[in-house]
Structure 1
Amino acid sequence: RRTDQIEYEAIMDRNEAVFYEQYEAHMMAQEEERAAAASAATTSVAAANAGTPEFTFSELGLEDPATFNNFMNQYPPADG
């Protein structure tokens, strides 16, 4: 019976050690994911706040931005 108790305790100790190894690896992976997500969010916010347009007027075929009639404008300029 004493041998069984010693063997049981050894198995339980090993199971506990494996559990904590796996738990630590899991927590580290989650922290890395959080850090990567935070970094990506910071990068995308910085890019959004950079003030660089996605297209220039010339890329859209509008050499003179003043001639572009904004469809949101309630009072569009009169033609001619």
Structure 2
Amino acid sequence: DDPQASRIMCVVLDHGRQNGVPVIPLYAISENPASTILDLSATLGIDILMLGSPHRNKLVSLLKGNVVTEVARSLPENIQLVIHG
């Protein structure tokens, strides 16, 4: 139902296939995105978590920064965090 998210996930899946990296695209709407990201990361047992946003305005940057900071602070050490954008 979200064309922009669908396009982004298709690109990420293609890059993963080209580089032999398994990708699990997830789309979630949450009142607490950092907590949701942390829960899903632990539940799925991922090795690498990539966070990013296609938007670059100040509000999105501020909100994204808070989410990224909270995730980085609480992410288990065995999961590598990659920030895109």
**TM-score interval, smaller chain:** under 0.3
Q: Identify, as 1 or 2, the structure richer in helix.
A: 1
TM-score for the superposition, normalised by structure 1: 0.25
Which structure dedicates a bigger proportion of its chain to strand?
Answer: 2
Higher-Rg structure is 1
TM-score (norm 2): 0.23
